Amino acid sequence: MSINIIPPTQPITVNAIKVYFYGDPGMYKTTLGMTANKALIIDADKGAYRTGVNRRADVVVAECWNDIVNISPDDLEPYQTVVFDTIGRVLDLIKSHLANDSKNTKGDGTLKLNVQGVANNMFSTFVNRIISTGRDVVFIAHATEDKNDNLTLIRPDLGGKNRQEIYRLCDAMAYLCLETNKKGVQERVLKFQSQEGYHSKDAGGLGNVPVPDLRESQHSNFLGGLIESVKTTLNTMTPEQQEAQKLKLEWEQWNKSCSEAKFPSDFNTLMSELNQEHPYFKSMWDCMKHYAYQLNLTYNKQKSKWFEMEVVSNITDQQRDELQTFISERGLDVKTVCEHFGIDALTQIDASKLDAVKQDIEVLAKEVNAA
């Protein structure tokens, strides 16, 4: 039997996608999810009852992870879209399931760090199983607000690793919020378009989409229509165009995530997502360093982690001058050495560690000269 080889100039048919939206309470998130095509709501948040007369879809009330993972292809037969409401609560159910095994927990009962990754993998595997059947998937999340200097940041209410993983999984992502339109009237808007202050992903070129009154019967398939629009757009793009767009969106999200990071743990979470094979790897690494240095963090190359810089006593100007000569004699420049240690200037070096720093510079010089 011959295989179906698709050349780079020919589009790859996209039959199912993953859409992600998040918003504050009272934004009718569940009602919006029910306007997907032939939707099945996995109600992990136990809030579907609040839709009242607006409930237009079948619901599975998930008390535990087994209520979700045991859903079979036969169970899904009548449906075209599976809606996770909310994604944060679904991940909590997976973690609770894993915590039932004492091998997965620490002494205080919390999950071991490596098991957190297992939870994400379990969820990704289940989602991919649904996608493989040709069904669309919708993720719903609550929004959370962070303050960073004078900027208010709106994000899905998920932990760092979970947030990055779900962003990676989805094809389109929007912030559902209230905005005042040109007529001075407040309306709900799905903001897919990239903008400072919130997270989004617009693979389908939807931009910012006003949400109509979902109580009206003519809008009962509103989300389903948006999903079909994204698929239509993707199906007109060649694989090369899809890949170029994917890389562009990943770069935009990376830049945004680095600019919003506030603690070493935020950067270390991002580090786990940084792939050296990514075409934008150098730019992504430089971007991370830029924002980490602004927070006075330092990168430990041996541990591959960011830390807060702890300086007991900086080197003097005389020691700096002597170190500059030491660096020059070994065929290096100050910029290279500063980047190696994750500092902006040699005067940030701890005087008590000067000898160790010189030894490290010797090693660095051998590596650079050998290259």
Q: What confidence tens digit (pLDDT) does each residue in 227-236 have?
A: 999 999 888 8
Q: Do 178 and 43 reside in the same domain of the chain? A: yes
Q: Do 32 and 164 reside in the same domain of the chain? A: yes
Q: Do 287 and 331 reside in the same domain of the chain? A: no
Q: Do 350 and 304 reside in the same domain of the chain? A: no
- Dihedral sign computed on CA atoms, order 277, 281, 282, 288: negative
Q: Is residue 6 part of a domain?
A: no
Residue 311: what pLDDT?
A: 47
Residue 2: what pLDDT?
A: 63
Sequence-distant (6+) residues with CB within 8 A of 279 are 247
Question: What is the C-alpha separation between 86 and 288, in angstroms, rounded?
Answer: 30
Q: Is residue 154 part of a domain?
A: yes
Residue 162, classified by CB atoms within 10 Å of its CB into exposed (0-12), middle (13-18) or buried (19+), is buried
Q: Do 109 and 225 reside in the same domain of the chain? A: yes
Q: Do 281 and 154 reside in the same domain of the chain? A: no
| Residue ranges making up the domain that contains 100 | 18-237
Q: Do 123 and 186 reside in the same domain of the chain? A: yes
Structure tokens at 313: 């006593």
Q: Do 219 and 115 reside in the same domain of the chain? A: yes
Is the per-residue pLDDT at 65 higher than 70?
yes
Q: Is residue 4 part of a domain?
A: no
Q: Is residue 256 part of a domain?
A: no
Give the CATH number for residue 169. 3.40.50
Helices (H), the chain: 29-33, 66-69, 73-76, 87-99, 113-132, 160-169, 222-234, 239-260, 264-271, 281-294, 317-329, 334-341, 354-370
CA distances from 223 to 61, 63, 67, 175 (A): 21, 26, 25, 14
Question: What is the C-alpha separation between 123 and 86, in angstroms, rounded?
Answer: 13
Q: Do 71 and 180 reside in the same domain of the chain? A: yes
Indicate the pLDDT class of residue 56, thresholds 50, 70 and 90: confident
Q: Is residue 252 part of a domain?
A: no
Residues 169-209: pLDDT tens digits?
A: 889 999 999 888 788 888 999 999 888 788 888 888 899 99
Q: Is residue 220 part of a domain?
A: yes
Q: Is residue 287 part of a domain?
A: yes
Q: Do 270 and 187 reside in the same domain of the chain? A: no
Least confident range of 16-20, 148-152, 292-296, 359-363: 148-152
**Per-chain mean pLDDT for the chain:** 86
Residue 90: what pLDDT?
A: 93
Between residues 307 and 369, the one the model is more confident about: 307
Going by the DSSP 8-state scheme, the letter that residue 351 receives in this structure is G
Q: Do 80 and 212 reside in the same domain of the chain? A: yes
Q: Is residue 13 part of a domain?
A: no
Question: What is the C-alpha separation between 205 and 210, in angstroms, rounded?
Answer: 14
Classified as helix, coil or strand, 133 is coil
Indicate the pLDDT class of residue 66, thresholds 50, 70 and 90: very high
Q: Do 344 and 207 reside in the same domain of the chain? A: no
Residues 96 and 67 sit within 8 Å (Cβ to Cβ): no
Residues 211 and 222 sit within 8 Å (Cβ to Cβ): yes
Residue 150: what pLDDT?
A: 67
Classified as helix, coil or strand, 190 is strand
Rounded to two decimals, the pTM is 0.71
Long-range contact pairs involving 40-43 (C-beta distance under 8 Å, separation at least 24) = 40/76, 40/79, 40/81, 40/82, 40/83, 41/83, 41/85, 42/68, 42/71, 42/82, 42/83, 42/84, 42/85, 42/90, 43/85
- Domain count for the chain: 3
